[in-house]
Amino acid sequence: MATDNQARFTPKELPYAYDALAPQISEETMRYHHDKHYVGYVNKLNELIAGTPFAQKSLEEIVVGSDGAIFNNAAQMWNHDFYFEQFSPNPQTAPDGALLKAVNDSFGSFEQMKAALEKSAVGLFGAGWTWLVADKSGKLSIVNESNAGNPLKSGMKPLVGFDVWEHAYYIDYRNRRPDAVAAHWDRIDWKVVGQRYDKK
């Protein structure tokens, strides 16, 4: 159990080298995104929850049960943990099994799902996240959330997250959000996504 002098949460290391996702996501972007932005959210969350009822809750409980600055930093920590873990230098490039069936049932095909997700991510105004989510029945949909928004708040299960805050792509793509979004497909590991879908 954490004491008052210990950080409640610690940043996770990347599950691959900083340069492992290049050229789609450069080493420079990963260092800024992980070491500055993500670590900053974790540190700020620890500061904000000290001495509050959230101090002993899990990260997911904080995301679901908080608002304001605590929610913003908790959700951004959760979102980034989730985001970094969905990528691989050697990904499975398409869904299979139960997830593929759900994709086909919900969107018609994997290609149609990709097109719909790209359209949503490119069209999201300002900063935020575009999510592929599953409801309690396993049906898939795409939701846009502004700023730190997380579908856990609505009882949905996130499967894939597209970070469309400029810090996620501006070094590599400048203002070309469509190119940044499209590059995700080369690095998303559908084995990881399938495991998320299968987890009850």
Tell whether the model's pLDDT for residue 200 goes beyond 90. Answer: no
At residue 31, does pLDDT exceed 80? yes
User: Would you state the pLDDT for residue 3?
Assistant: 42
pLDDT 10s digits, 4-28:
446 799 999 999 999 999 999 999 9
Does 186 score more than 50 pLDDT?
yes
Domains, in order of start, for the chain? 27-85 (1.10.287.990), 97-198 (3.55.40.20)
Tokens of 85: 């873990």
Residue 37 above 80 pLDDT? yes
pLDDT at 6: 60
Residue indicated by tokens 């996240």: 129
Query: Is the omega angle on the peptide bond into residue 91 within 30 degrees of 0, that is, cis?
Result: no
Q: Which residue has better confidence, 36 or 5?
A: 36
Q: What is the structure's pLDDT at 48? A: 98
